Amino acid sequence: MAAAHGGDKAVYEQLLRELGDTIERYLRCHFGRLAHVEDCVQECLLAIHMARHTWDPHRRFRPWFFTIVHHKTIDLLRRASYAPPPHEDRVPPGIGLGLTTAGDPADEMVPGDILTRLAPAYRDALKLTKIEGYSLAEAAARAGISEAAMKSRVARAIRATKALLETDRNSA
């Protein structure tokens, strides 16, 4: 990043490619087959580009980088539509967590999967609406609660996820 501050395009391209891969692994490690991961990766790269001047060369890169990634991840969770994705993207229930492979750098960055650390009700709400792609009404019917309750549960699940991401960042 220090070289990118000076305008070194070759180094910057390599940095963005590596960061893109890192973000993708990070998201898949934490959220499994979350819908629109690629959108989130691109949003993060864009945000990194727009904010690159704010990285303090005297400080570590990681807190700066993960603040942006966490922010964009929460943004994605909030904005992800409740409309079901195309049929081939819909993930069978129960699948979608822990996709990382041994030796994956993302494994070293985070102590565990965010979704598995959420309360079961929150985890199910996020999985149904954001990963498996069910609409609010469908997810509510599967969970046996009202649509309004599911909406509220998803909002609280996102807040809990945000708190967990912050805790990870602060303890890192």
Partner 1 sequence: MNQPRDELIRDLVDDLQPVRWPGRVVHWLLAWLLFAVVSSAGALAATGPFRDGAFRALSAVPAFAVETAVAALAVTLLARATLVSSVPGAGKPRGSLSWPVVILAVWVGFYVVGFWFPAHPVSNLGHRDHCLAQTQLIALVNLGPLLWITRRLAPLWPRLTGALAGAAAAAVPAAAMQFACMYDPGHILLFHLAPVAVTAVIGAALGPTLLTRRAWTVTSS
Q: Which residues in this chain contact partner 1 in the complex, by CB under 8 A?
A: 4-7, 9, 12-13, 16-17, 20, 36, 38-39, 41-43, 45-47, 49-57, 59, 63-68, 71, 166, 170
Minimum CB distance to partner 1, residue 76 (Å): 11
Q: How far is the CB of 62 from partner 1 (least distance, A)?
A: 8
Decide whether 51 or 137 has the Cβ nearer to partner 1.
Answer: 51
Name residue 81's amino acid: S
The burial of 107, by beta-carbon neighbours within 10 Å (0-12 exposed, 13-18 middle, 19 or more buried), is given as middle
- Do residues 159 and 75 touch, judged by C-beta distance below 8 A? no
Distances from the Cα of 136 to the Cα of 36, 80, 87, angstroms: 17, 12, 17
Q: Which residue's CB is nearer to partner 1, number 24 or number 113?
A: 24
Torsion of Cα atoms, 44 then 94 then 83 then 25, to 10°: 10
Which residue, 53 or 87, is less far from partner 1 as judged by CB?
53
CB of 169 to partner 1, least distance (A): 8
